[in-house]
Structure 1
Amino acid sequence: MPEYLKKGDTVGILATARKIDLATLEPGIKLLESWGLKVVIGKTIGKEQNQLAGADWQRATDFQEMLDNPNIKAIWAAKGGYGTVRIVDRIDFTNFKKKPKWIVGFSDVTVLHSHINNMDIGTLHAIMAISAKTATPEAVESFRKALFGEKLEYHIPAHPFNKNGKAQGELVGGNLSVLYSIQGSKSAVDMKGKILFLEDLDEYLYHIDRMMINLKRNGSLDGVKGIIIGGMTSMNDNDIPWGKDALEIIQDVVKDLKIPVAYNFPAGHIKDNRALILGKNVTFEVNDKETILKFE
């Protein structure tokens, strides 16, 4: 795990994917400052090349500079979208491996979570800077606790689809579409023996089925100790309906796995996006009453 933050530490905010302006980030900047942290704004904020926050080399350079800056203790993604995968192979992680720092975000940032997990370094799946204004107080507080190394533990009401059981292992995962897109690359995370978290946004229902079937057929789900399903938000359907919603699709694919599975966990593209420390060992329990997730 990277070192947890303390008051007076500096957090860098940048864009690895979609463009964003500085004014939109003001609530996020004020949030960090209210916790006694200093903020450095990346050169990508305000830049644009069509959808992206500047050219690939500009976004990679901004990320590299913050990664190598010893005064910056955490890098907070401004927003997601698409584009992080275009720069990850340009990044030199040599100094980062010697002195890791927190990489924070979700959605498209899953590329970095997964890539860095293969270095045996933890990352923080949590709200992004753009989310600070709309996130629930619970999501914001969980982000603060994770960042400062305070106790992190969740008790979530049971969902009818849940499969009861208990497991311990390293937590990995993130956005399903992104994880699917990096299968077969050096950024693909090894899920064997892990607790797998999945969430997604704005996908066609048959795409959810396609991606889950792929994970099952390619062996990614073999040996997974447990599965946590977060928000499956704003899904789309065709004129001829697929016939199942996202949770029903996932339930159908994983029903034969003899492991605990929890649905509707508050993380992902939802306002109540609770922080998850990826790469950290967790105790995961699903019973008739609740889902319990404890970070060791």
Structure 2
Amino acid sequence: MLQPSFIKEGDKVAIVSTARKVSVKEIQEAILMLEKWKLVPVLGSTIGKELHQFAGTDQERVLDFQKMLDDKEIKAIWCARGGYGTVRIIDHIDFSNLLKNPKWIVGYSDITVLHSEIHNLGVCSLHAPLAIDIHKGTKASMTSLRDILFGKEVEYSISSSKKNILGECQGKLIGGNLSILYSLCGSKSSLDTSGKILCIEDLDEYLYHIDRMLQNLKRNGFFDNLSGLIVGGMTKMHDNNIPFGKKPKKIILEIVKEYGFPVVFNFPMGHIEDNRALIMGSEASLRVDADQVTLKYI
């Protein structure tokens, strides 16, 4: 895997929106944070644009992202907002210059489309808070973003959940939003999970739909040769009038019970305040003990 160069003070960081509309005011704290880090924020033309729920037309979002991707002075592209829309433009983006001059693509949620596509091209990316998230993110999540971008060694240790499946594994980190991973099945952006550590999270879904998506991933072979599974926030889940009868942890444990790889719940990633940055595509080791979980890069 190609890993982008770490950034340094004075470098330019672009902020664009590949999906939902966003105003300059909504990302003002992100702009100020970059300036505090002595970086130079460069706002894309999609910031402030509006077409219904989108940050401009599909073509406008393609052109904005492409411009920042091709500009050698831009060292990272920070996606401003998720929502929906990245899949509408992914097949119209030319990633050839990313392969020649890798740069960090940063974001999560709908940005899982980009992470998946870029992983299949052999380039690492950064699953991390969106620019619009700065006001609600924890200090630890923002510190993790800064530390990785600037090349500081990062390791995560968290308390172990009673529901975890214990064990050790190693592999490249992949994944992101469960709904997006599900929607990419059958496309060229779908992931090969063999020997890798899959990360999943989701927001605002019905419990039966969590089960349906995981059943689909299982039928697509996602768990057959998986090295390990990291489960982040399963936030604001819904149920029907007739209860589904299982919460996300139980749904996941029933799906993976035949495989034997380690499973971590409550990892700080996803639509939660403590959304730590993860290098997608990087080789990592995961140790799941009864009292502690440790994730470190190799």
TM over 0.5: same fold? yes
Tell me what 2:203 maps to.
Answer: 201
* Residue type of the alignment partner of 1:116: I
Tell me what 1:133 maps to.
Answer: 135
**1:98-122 deviation digits (Å, cap 9, x = unpaired):** 1110000000000000000001100
Aligned partner of residue 118 in structure 1, secondary structure: helix
Tell me what 1:265 maps to.
Answer: 267
Tell me what 1:289 maps to.
Answer: 291
Matched, 1:251 2:253: yes
* Residue type of the alignment partner of 1:4: F
Q: Distance in 2 between matches of 1:235 and 1:213?
A: 18
Matched, 1:82 2:70: no
Q: Distance in 2 between matches of 1:92 and 1:39?
A: 23
Tell me what 1:60 maps to.
Answer: 62
Q: Distance in 2 between matches of 1:134 and 1:228?
A: 23
Q: Distance in 1 between matches of 2:290 and 2:44?
A: 46
Q: Distance in 2 between matches of 1:55 and 1:247?
A: 39
Quote the offset at 1:255 in angstroms: 1.7
**1:60-97 deviation digits (Å, cap 9, x = unpaired):** 00000000000100000001000000000010111111
Q: Distance in 1 between matches of 2:98 and 2:162?
A: 43
Tell me what 1:212 maps to.
Answer: 214
Quote the offset at 1:179 in angstroms: 0.4
Quote the offset at 1:257 in angstroms: 1.4
Matched, 1:116 2:118: yes
**Pairwise mapping of residues 93-242 of structure 1 onto structure 2 (< 5 A)?**
93-242=95-244
* Residue type of the alignment partner of 1:150: K
**1:7-26 deviation digits (Å, cap 9, x = unpaired):** 11010001000001001111
Tell me what 1:280 maps to.
Answer: 282
* Residue type of the alignment partner of 1:219: G
2:185 and 2:220 in contact (8 A); partners too = no
Moved more, 273-282 or 245-254: 245-254
Give the unaligned 5+ runs of structure 2.
Answer: none
Aligned partner of residue 147 in structure 2, secondary structure: helix
**1:198-223 deviation digits (Å, cap 9, x = unpaired):** 00000110000001111112212110
**1:235-277 deviation digits (Å, cap 9, x = unpaired):** 1111111011112111111122111110010100000000100
* Residue type of the alignment partner of 1:281: E
Q: Distance in 2 between matches of 1:94 and 1:262?
A: 36
Moved more, 251-260 or 81-90: 251-260
**1:122-168 deviation digits (Å, cap 9, x = unpaired):** 00000010011110000000011111111110001010110110011
Matched, 1:73 2:75: yes
How many pairs does the alignment contain? 296
Q: Distance in 1 between matches of 2:150 and 2:283?
A: 17
Q: Superposition RMSD on alpha carbons, in Å?
A: 0.6
2:80 and 2:130 in contact (8 A); partners too = yes
2:201 and 2:231 in contact (8 A); partners too = yes
* Residue type of the alignment partner of 2:99: K
* Residue type of the alignment partner of 1:278: M
Tell me what 2:53 maps to.
Answer: 51
TM-score by length of 1: 0.99
Quote the offset at 1:234 in angstroms: 0.5
Tell me what 2:32 maps to.
Answer: 30
Tell me what 2:10 maps to.
Answer: 8
Q: Distance in 2 between matches of 1:31 and 1:133?
A: 10
